[in-house]
Amino acid sequence: MPGPPPGALAAVRATLDGLLDRPAPREWEDTRYALVATGRAPLTPAERAALGPHADRRPLFS
The band of 2, judged by pLDDT with boundaries at 50, 70 and 90, is confident
Domain boundaries, given as residue ranges, for the chain: 6-57
Has residue 62 got a pLDDT over 90?
no
3-56 pLDDT per residue, tens: 889 999 999 999 999 999 999 999 999 999 999 999 999 999 999 999 999 999
Contact 14, 22 (CB under 8 A): no
State the Cα–Cα distance between residues 49 and 62, nearest whole angstrom: 22
pLDDT score of 1 more than 90: no
In contact, 16 and 24? CB cutoff 8 Å: yes
Q: What is the pTM of this model?
A: 0.84
Show the beta-strand stretches assigned E in 1-62.
none
